[in-house]
Amino acid sequence: MAPEEIAELLRKEFGDGVADSKFDTAHPRIGVKPEAWPKIARFLRDDARLGFNFLRCVTALDLLEDDQLSATFDLHAVRLPAKEGADCELVHGLCVEVRTPRNDPRIPSVADVWRAADWHEREAYDLMGILFENHPDSVIGPKGRHPRRILCPDDWAGHPLRKDYMFPMEYHGIPAVTEMGQTRPVH
């Protein structure tokens, strides 16, 4: 199915849950509201017409101009080979974008729908600070429940890939920023 048809199908099923979509780009994507995302994710996987059984990638974006953070889910529908040794067949692909406000970025986790989302969501939390709610690998932090960090140390402050991130001045006694270094990333 083409992304336009899938968007039409989702709008018929979920109505307001579907946000603005973009189809005239190299990477056509369907916008989805955070509160509707777990239901839509389950529908995308389980509906016989769609059958998106493979989460390829989760990408987090910092949209500083719009004051939003976005998580982009790349989905593939893969048909398993009929006989052993044959290649998997790609039926169709889809990209879903979930946007959330920058000051309180919360998106429900879909790690129970696609297992691949587990580590991807942990990374998106670690580097971009998107709080995936009800993530299976969550810990209690000072600001409440959040997914466990995956790359940075557990006591790291901030989320390094955000555009307004400030580099640490020291970490456990090791000086970090020198007089020649930068205190923030350049984009």
Binding site for another protein (CB under 8 A): 152-153, 160, 165, 167-168, 171-176, 178, 180-182, 185-186
Closest CA to 27 of 48, 53, 56: 56
**Nearer of residues 64 and 176 to another protein, judged by Cβ:** 176
Report the nearest approach of another protein to the CB of residue 172 (Å): 4
Q: Which residues contact 51 (CB under 8 A, 6 or more apart)?
A: 45, 77, 91
Report the nearest approach of another protein to the CB of residue 16 (Å): 39
How far is Cα 65 from Cα 84, in angstroms, rounded to an integer?
50
**Nearer of residues 85 and 153 to another protein, judged by Cβ:** 153
CB atoms within 10 A of CB 163: 14
Report the nearest approach of another protein to the CB of residue 75 (Å): 31
**Nearer of residues 78 and 166 to another protein, judged by Cβ:** 166
Please, are residues 49 and 26 in contact by the beta-carbon 8 Å criterion?
no
Report the nearest approach of another protein to the CB of residue 127 (Å): 10
**Nearer of residues 23 and 167 to another protein, judged by Cβ:** 167
Report the nearest approach of another protein to the CB of residue 157 (Å): 11
**Nearer of residues 33 and 148 to another protein, judged by Cβ:** 148
- Specify the long-range contacts of residues 144-152, CB closer than 8 Å, at least 24 apart: 147/109, 147/121, 147/122, 148/122, 149/122, 149/125, 150/119, 150/122, 150/123, 150/126, 151/123, 151/126, 151/127, 152/126, 152/127
DSSP 3-state of 180: coil
